[in-house]
Structures are given as structure tokens and as C-alpha cells.
């Protein structure tokens, strides 16, 4: 595996690159095609889009279209694949592949980016292996001259996985899976609201023949009571009774809703399918109440791609072109994907083989083997889900070793706060600990607004936006510390979980720093990163940012659509304070012409160039211009300043409108991604605290994602990890690698 971003250009750049989408369609494929075309153009390579997958390649003619930047304009937000996909039996034959090869070399295409599933990538690899032979046959038949054959000795190949199932090795996420989770979560949230009004049970079938990813993550994101996945069949043959008992116990403790998620390929330990209908029958018989089945089917594939899928696909498309430029003739084909939050290139065929190995393990009923191949975080998520859905704590409180853990919010509200609270409460109580809620953030702690929670007090919170306990940006001053310490001592608090943003981290640090004067503060404090701004040290991403990003991107899509009558430039201001994450990610996901971030600032010369460029483009025929400005991008060049400047320069040629999106960015129900991370961080934070207590230690920490894994960084390092110039953001931010990609896409 290599870091895709590190490879430099080599002189063996291909003459022309073809890009196609193949197999099942997946949302986000358009972003990949757009990125390949624009990256190729920037590198001086001619791009071609190949319509209808391999079928178009075999047919040739108009199906292989020379692309310009305009060919792929306006497609980023569209679902499916605008260049079409198809299954092709002809391509499975050597004769078909020979015709395909001829159609490619005739146009000078000797490098391909294939966006598809494992079938499509296997086909592509075979085609690449046969390439020289196919060209020789075409030469022998008089269809190609010797010079053409000599100029294209190899076919270079890069693959990007487009699949809603998230079923491929070589990438932690396939393009389309996050959007599918959005569709599933929206549908289940809607079902939940009707289910809890009627005390009904629902069984929902989701896609995934060999992969339980969608079922498992949808289970975490919606608080399902039970999931059935192919890799991990129920442990016993008595699963029907067990399911009935669990659901009945849930009803007894006041749970109003039951939801069971079944993956398409779910089975029992003997390999017999477990269908949604059978689960429905088991529930109806066990509970004697109305039970309904919903098979989500193609809804899961549809709709506009999520912000994550757009940006993942864009990054993969960009890096695929770089790989093709850098590859030597004898280099193996590469798969471009995301591993541990970084875009990487790995061996395409190894990924295909390992993917097929999971299906084989399941077919052989080696479920432990299948689960092991899925990796650590899949297994960890499965265990977390099992804890969260229990009807009541599995262990009785045990006076001697149980901890009293206080949960508190700090900083601005962020979607996912309630989700994190629910996971923290349930994980702690499941381990025999007591949980206290502090209402109203640190001022609430000063005033003693503390309440003990029970298991059902957080029922249904997985999907609720906002912060039920309330949050505050206020950082306690020296005069308040005495009261805070007294309240912690009165309630015998052993540990604190602070779930919030920058000011919450600062407040936690104030307590931590004063632990020598106030012994009540000498307890472990863990901070969970919950803020839309993604501006915290100790983590590569914060919970809440994905929800905000999706809400911004959805709104910018609508703003763009409103420009039907006249030529228009929009200047959209987004939140994020001193971090440009939201601005940059929004810009990438909406195809903005310019993105202004606080990290880079705005200077007069740059602004003059930008005004001139955009004015020229629009006078030259472009209909729409989009500028994204982070709220703290510059003190002087404010959004209204930009608006006046562009309006003056645009004159009669175009309208300029500004939109300051404001607080809608902090609201809304959390996205699936934010629910999953809120849950994982909270569950791990409780584990960390229990660990500390068992070791007799009291180390405070910031929980977060570091190189794609949940990790704990000492709280004492908070300040040291911040920007040295005093901005409220970390000194190093992984997403800064997006800038060259955004520039290439313009």
C-alpha cells in the first residue's frame, strides 16, 4: 500500500484516459467521473467518458466520447451515474474484449479508470492482462497498424469501488455506501415515529448479500433491537425464542418500539436463509401484536449523493489519474480507496481476491473467518450494538467497584450530542456503573443541576438532534471553581465525560489545571469531540461536522438550482469559526469556483485575480458562479464586501447574491456517520474510564479519531496541539490535502 498523494509525476503519462462506470450504479459515481475528467485535463491528458460501461466500450462509436470540463459540469449532485452503466456479456468473451481494445487504441486510450464492483474490476484486470495479445491479434487481422500497436504496449488500470454495500477490501468505504446509509436511516426514522405511536414492531430488510455493513451501521444509527447479518449468524438455533424474550423484556421496561434489521444475505449457522418475513412471523407470534415488514430495495440506491460520497469519489478520481500518470508499464493495477481516513492506492487484484474470500467463508459456514476478514472496527461495532440494545443493564450495580460518571456538555450545540449521551449511559450502566447528567453545561455544574439517569431515560435519543441536557459556551472563572468542586464532591463523582466543542475543552482544562487546589477535580475527565466546526485537537474529525456539511450541501444545491433565469454568482458564507473544514468540504462537494478559508485568508492580489477570472468565465458563457467563504476567512474582506465587489465588477453581465446560512447548520437530526461516531467514541470513552479506575490512575484525555482509529490523547496536550499563532484550531489538519484537489476541480 502506498500513500496515493505522495507519488510524483513520471514521464510515462498516458496519451488519453478513459473512464467508465460499470455493474450496479451507486451514488457518487458522477463525482468520480467528473474528477477523472478534470484531473486528466489539468495534466494535459485527453479524457474520454465511456457510456454504458463495458457495453459501450465493445460497441465503440458515440459511446466513447471525448470529454471536456463542460461534459461533466452540473453532475456532482445527481444520483446514479449519468454516463450510464450496463452489464455486458460480450465483454466476457475474448472477441468482445478485442473489439473493446480496438475502440480504445483507435482513440489513443491506453489507461482506464473503472468505477464499479468486484465483477467489473475483475473484468478490467483480465482485459489488462490480455491487452498485448488482443492488440497483436488486431494487427494480424489488419485492423491496426504496427505503429499504433507499438505506441500502446500496455493498458494502465486504476479501480475505484462504486458499490452501496461497502463490500470491498482495499477501502474502508466504497463510493455509495454512506448515501445508502442516509436513505436507510431516513426511512427507519420515519418508520420509528409511526411504530412508537402504536407500539408496533417493524422488520426492515436492507441490501447486503455477503456483507452486513449496511445492516450493522444502520442498526447503530437507528437503535435497532436486533440485527441479522451474513457474517455473524445467531449463536444458537434457539434464536427465535431468544428474539421473542428480548423483545418482550423491552416492552416490560417501557420500550415502545421494536425494530429488527435483516440484511438480504442473513442466514443461520447452518447456512439457511433468515428472511425478513420469517422474523416478522416470529415476532408476531411471540408478542401477539401487529408486526410489519418493510423491504427497502432500490430506495437505498437512489437520491442525491451524500457530501461524504461526493468528496470520497472526487478524491479517488483525482488520485486515480495521478496513479496512472506515475505508474510504470509493469506496475500492477491499483485500487484507489480510503484507509484510516487517508486516500491510498493498493493492489487491485489482492483486494478482489480478499473480497471474494469473505463470500467463500460465508458459503463454507466459517463465520469466525468471515468476521475476522471484516476487521476490527466491524467486530467492535457489533459488540457495541449488542450492549446498546439490551432492555436493561446486564449487571447489577455493585457498590464496591461501580463508578459514578457525570456527563456534561460544553460549547455550542452539535448534532450527535444526544446520541453520545445515550451510548455513554447504556455502556456505563451495562458495566454496573451509575451515570449522572449535568444540565446546562458548566454553569449547571456550578449550580448543582445534577440528576441521576436510568437505562430508559435515553430511549430513542439515538436520532434526536440538539442537546436534551442543554449546553453552554461559558468557561468557569476562578470564583466558580469552589462551587463546582463542592457539587462534584456532594454527588461523589468519580469521573467526567465532557461531550462538546472548543469551549467545553477549555472548561475541562480549567478543572484539570486546578486539580491540585481542588481535590474533587483530581478525577479522570474525558472530552468527546462534538462540534460542527471540526476544530479540535486530538481528533481528525468531530461529530456534528458531517451533519452540518450535509445540511449545507443540500442547501447550496437548492441555491444553485434557483439560478434559472439569469447569470448569477452566489457567495455563500458557512460556519466553522477558525477552521476552514466546512468551507473546504462544502466547496468540494458543491463544485465551487472559489473557496476562502481562515487558514489561507484572503489577500488583495488573490481577490483581484479571482474577480477577473470569474468575470471572464461568466462573460465567456458560464451561467453560474459559486463562492464559498468560511465565516472567519478574513476580517476585512467580509461576505458583504465580496458581494459589493463582485456586483460592481459584474455590472450588467451577472447578478450577485449572498447567502449566510446561519444556524440551520447547527441543527437537524444527526447524519448516520455522526450517530455511528458519537456511539463509538462514547462507548470507548466509558471503557477508557473504567480502565483508568481499575489501574488506580486518573489520566484525563481527549477521545478522537487518529489515523482512522479511536484513540485517546492526554488532555494536558490540548494547548500544545493548537495553532501556534493563536487561532482556535489544531496546528495540523488532515483535510488540508483537499486544497490541490479543489483547485483541480474548478
Cell numbers found for residue 190: 420515519
Stretch that binds ligand ADP, among 43-51, 111-119, 308-316, 501-509 (CB under 6 A): 111-119
Calculate Rg over the CA atoms of the chain: 27
Shortest-Cβ-distance residue relative to ligand ADP: 119
Query: Considering the rule CB under 6 A, would residue 580 count as an interface residue with ligand ADP?
Result: no
Query: Considering the rule CB under 6 A, would residue 46 count as an interface residue with ligand ADP?
Result: no
Query: Considering the rule CB under 6 A, would residue 116 count as an interface residue with ligand ADP?
Result: yes
Instruction: Look at residues 638, 622, 631, 651 and name the one whose alpha carbon lies nearest to residue 563.
Output: 622
Instruction: Look at residues 738, 745, 740, 704 and name the one whose alpha carbon lies nearest to residue 583.
Output: 738
CA dist., res. 435 & res. 174, Å (int): 38
Q: Which residue from 21, 88, 402, 639 is in contact with ligand ADP, where contact means CB under 6 A?
A: 88
Inter-helix orientation angle 348-363/118-140, to 10°: 130
CB of 178 to ligand ADP, least distance (A): 18
Q: Looking at 529-634, list the stretches that DSSP marks H as alpha helix, in order from N- to C-terminal side.
A: 545-561, 581-590, 604-619
Q: Which residue's CB is nearer to ligand ADP, number 91 or number 646?
A: 91
Q: Which residue's CB is nearer to ligand ADP, number 212 or number 412?
A: 212
The b-or-e profile of 198-216 (16+ CB within 10 A means b, else e) is eebbbbbbbbbebbbbbbb
Q: Which residue from 14, 28, 79, 123 is in contact with ligand ADP, where contact means CB under 6 A?
A: 123
Query: Considering the rule CB under 6 A, would residue 119 count as an interface residue with ligand ADP?
Result: yes
Query: Considering the rule CB under 6 A, would residue 587 count as an interface residue with ligand ADP?
Result: no
3-class SS of residue 525: strand
Longest CA pairwise span in the chain (Å): 92
Query: Considering the rule CB under 6 A, would residue 117 count as an interface residue with ligand ADP?
Result: yes
CB of 120 to ligand ADP, least distance (A): 3
Stretch that binds ligand ADP, among 110-118, 193-201, 345-353, 590-598 (CB under 6 A): 110-118
Evaluate whether 322 touches 40 at the Cβ level (below 8 Å).
no
CA dist., res. 595 & res. 584, Å (int): 6
Stretch that binds ligand ADP, among 117-125, 230-238, 422-430, 460-468 (CB under 6 A): 117-125
Query: Considering the rule CB under 6 A, would residue 591 count as an interface residue with ligand ADP?
Result: no
Q: Which residue from 87, 474, 515, 739 is in contact with ligand ADP, where contact means CB under 6 A?
A: 87
Cell numbers found for residue 498: 465532557
Within 51-70, which residues bind ligand ADP (CB under 6 A)? 54
Stretch that binds ligand ADP, among 18-26, 311-319, 331-339, 412-420 (CB under 6 A): 18-26
Query: Considering the rule CB under 6 A, would residue 92 count as an interface residue with ligand ADP?
Result: yes
DSSP per-residue letters across 190-210: HHHHHHHHHT-EEEEEE--SS
CA dist., res. 50 & res. 364, Å (int): 38
Indicate which residue of 25, 110, 118, 165 is catalytic: 165
Q: Which residue's CB is nearer to ligand ADP, number 119 or number 698?
A: 119
Q: Which residue from 46, 77, 81, 120 is in contact with ligand ADP, where contact means CB under 6 A?
A: 120
DSSP summary character for residue 566: S
Evaluate whether 518 touches 715 at the Cβ level (below 8 Å).
no
165 as an active site residue: the answer is: yes
Cell numbers found for residue 114: 473503472
Q: Regarding beta strands 701-706 and 709-714, do their DSSP bridges make them parallel or antiparallel, or are they unpaired? A: antiparallel
CB of 161 to ligand ADP, least distance (A): 9
Evaluate whether 51 touches 65 at the Cβ level (below 8 Å).
yes
Query: Considering the rule CB under 6 A, would residue 118 count as an interface residue with ligand ADP?
Result: yes
Query: Considering the rule CB under 6 A, would residue 91 count as an interface residue with ligand ADP?
Result: yes
CB of 310 to ligand ADP, least distance (A): 20
Please provide residue 231's backbone torsions phi and psi, each rounded to the nearest 5 degrees.
-75, -20
Query: Considering the rule CB under 6 A, would residue 126 count as an interface residue with ligand ADP?
Result: yes
Q: Binding residues for ligand ADP, how many (CB under 6 A)?
A: 16
Q: Which residue from 14, 18, 23, 265 is in contact with ligand ADP, where contact means CB under 6 A?
A: 23
Where do the DSSP E strands lie in 126-230? 156-161, 201-206, 226-228
> Under the rule (CB under 6 A), what is the footprint of ligand ADP?
22-24, 54, 87-88, 91-92, 116-120, 122-123, 126
Which positions are catalytic? Answer: 165
Amino acid at each position: 500500500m502506498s500513500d496515493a498523494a505522495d507519488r510524483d509525476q513520471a514521464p510515462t503519462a498516458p496519451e488519453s484516459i478513459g473512464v467508465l462506470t460499470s455493474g450496479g450504479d451507486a451514488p457518487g459515481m458522477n463525482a468520480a467521473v467528473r474528477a477523472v475528467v478534470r484531473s486528466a485535463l489539468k495534466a494535459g491528458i485527453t479524457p474520454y467518458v465511456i457510456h454504458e460501461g463495458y457495453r459501450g466500450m465493445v460497441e465503440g462509436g458515440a459511446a466513447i466520447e471525448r470529454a471536456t470540463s463542460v461534459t461533466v459540469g452540473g453532475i456532482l449532485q445527481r444520483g446514479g451515474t449519468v454516463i450510464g452503466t450496463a452489464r455486458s456479456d460480450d465483454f466476457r468473451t475474448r472477441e468482445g474484449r478485442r473489439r473493446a481494445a480496438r475502440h480504445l487504441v483507435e482513440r489513443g486510450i491506453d489507461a482506464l479508470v473503472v468505477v464499479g464492483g468486484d465483477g467489473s474490476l475483475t473484468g478490467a484486470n483480465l482485459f489488462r492482462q490480455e491487452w498485448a495479445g488482443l492488440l497483436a491479434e488486431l494487427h494480424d487481422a489488419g485492423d491496426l497498424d504496427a505503429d499504433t500497436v507499438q505506441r500502446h504496449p500496455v493498458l494502465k488500470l486504476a479501480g475505484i469501488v462504486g458499490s452501496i454495500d461497502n463490500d470491498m477490501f482495499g477501502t474502508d468505504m466504497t463510493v455509495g455506501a454512506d448515501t445508502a446509509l442516509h436513505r436507510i436511516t431516513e426511512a427507519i426514522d420515519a418508520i420509528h415515529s409511526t411504530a412508537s405511536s402504536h407500539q408496533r414492531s417493524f422488520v426492515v430488510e436492507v441490501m447486503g448479500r455477503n456483507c452486513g455493513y449496511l445492516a450493522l451501521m444502520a442498526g447503530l444509527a437507528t437503535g435497532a433491537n436486533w440485527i441479522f447479518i451474513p457474517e455473524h449468524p445467531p449463536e444458537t438455533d434457539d434464536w427465535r425464542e431468544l428474539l421473542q424474550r428480548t423483545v418482550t423484556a423491552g416492552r416490560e421496561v417501557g420500550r415502545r418500539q421494536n425494530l429488527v434489521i435483516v440484511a438480504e444475505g442473513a442466514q443461520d449457522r447452518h447456512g439457511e436463509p433468515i428472511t425478513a418475513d420469517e422474523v416478522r412471523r416470529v415476532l408476531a407470534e411471540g408478542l401477539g401484536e401487529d408486526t410489519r415488514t418493510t423491504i427497502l430495495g432500490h430506495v437505498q440506491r437512489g437520491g442525491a449523493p451524500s457530501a461524504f460520497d461526493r468528496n470520497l469519489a472526487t478524491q479517488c478520481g483525482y488520485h486515480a489519474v495521478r496513479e496512472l500518470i506515475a505508474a510504470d508499464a509493469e506496475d500492477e493495477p491499483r485500487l484507489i480507496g480510503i484507509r484510516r481516513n487517508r486516500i491510498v492506492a493498493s493492489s487491485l487484484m489482492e483486494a478482489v481476491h480478499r473480497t471474494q474470500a469473505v463470500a467463500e467463508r460465508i458459503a463454507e459456514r466459517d463465520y469466525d473467518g468471515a468476521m475476522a476478514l471484516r476487521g476490527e472496527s466491524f467486530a467492535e461495532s457489533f459488540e457495541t450494538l449488542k450492549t446498546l440494545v439490551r432492555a436493561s443493564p446486564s449487571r447489577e450495580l455493585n457498590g464496591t467497584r461501580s463508578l459514578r460518571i457525570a456527563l456534561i456538555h460544553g460549547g455550542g450545540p452539535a448534532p450527535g450530542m444526544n446520541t453520545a449521551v445515550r451510548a455513554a449511559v447504556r455502556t456505563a450502566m451495562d458495566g454496573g456503573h451509575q451515570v449522572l447528567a449535568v444540565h446546562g453545561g458548566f454553569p449547571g455544574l456550578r449550580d448543582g443541576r445534577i440528576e441521576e439517569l436510568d437505562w430508559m431515560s435515553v430511549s430513542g435519543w439515538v436520532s434526536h438532534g440538539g442537546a436534551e441536557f442543554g449546553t453552554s459556551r461559558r468557561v468557569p472563572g476562578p470564583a466558580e471553581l469552589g462551587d463546582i468542586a463542592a457539587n462534584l464532591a456532594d454527588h461523589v463523582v468519580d469521573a467526567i465525560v465532557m461531550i462538546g466543542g472548543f469551549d467545553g475543552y477549555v472548561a475541562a482544562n480549567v478543572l484539570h489545571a486546578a486539580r491540585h487546589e481542588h481535590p474533587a477535580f483530581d478525577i479522570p475527565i474525558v472530552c468527546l469531540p462534538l462540534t460542527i466546526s471540526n476544530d479540535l485537537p486530538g481528533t481528525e474529525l468531530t461529530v456534528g461536522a458531517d451533519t452540518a456539511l450535509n445540511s449545507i450541501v443540500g442547501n447550496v444545491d437548492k441555491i444553485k438550482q434557483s439560478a434559472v433565469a439569469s447569470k448569477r454568482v452566489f457567495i455563500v458564507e458557512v460556519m466553522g469559526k477558525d477552521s476552514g473544514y466546512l468551507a473546504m468540504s462544502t466547496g468540494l462537494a458543491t463544485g465551487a469556483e472559489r473557496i476562502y478559508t481562515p487558514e489561507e485568508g484572503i489577500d488583495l492580489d488573490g481577490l483581484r485575480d479571482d474577480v477577473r477570472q470569474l468575470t471572464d468565465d461568466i462573460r465567456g458563457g458560464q451561467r453560474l458562479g459559486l463562492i464559498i467563504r468560511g465565516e472567519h476567512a478574513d476580517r476585512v474582506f467580509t461576505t458583504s464586501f465580496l458581494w459589493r465587489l463582485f456586483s460592481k465588477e459584474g455590472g450588467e453581465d451577472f447578478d450577485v447574491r449572498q447567502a449566510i446560512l446561519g444556524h440551520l447548520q447547527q441543527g437537524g437530526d444527526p447524519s448516520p456517520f455522526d450517530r455511528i461516531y458519537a456511539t463509538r467514541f462514547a462507548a470507548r470513552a466509558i471503557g477508557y474510564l473504567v480502565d483508568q479506575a481499575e489501574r488506580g490512575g486518573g489520566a484525563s484525555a481527549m477521545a478522537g479519531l487518529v489515523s482512522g482509529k479511536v484513540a485517546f490523547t492526554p488532555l494536558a496536550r490540548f494547548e500544545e496541539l493548537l495553532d501556534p499563532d493563536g487561532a482556535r484550531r489544531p496546528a495540523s489538519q488532515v483535510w488540508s490535502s483537499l486544497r490541490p484537489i479543489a483547485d483541480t476541480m474548478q
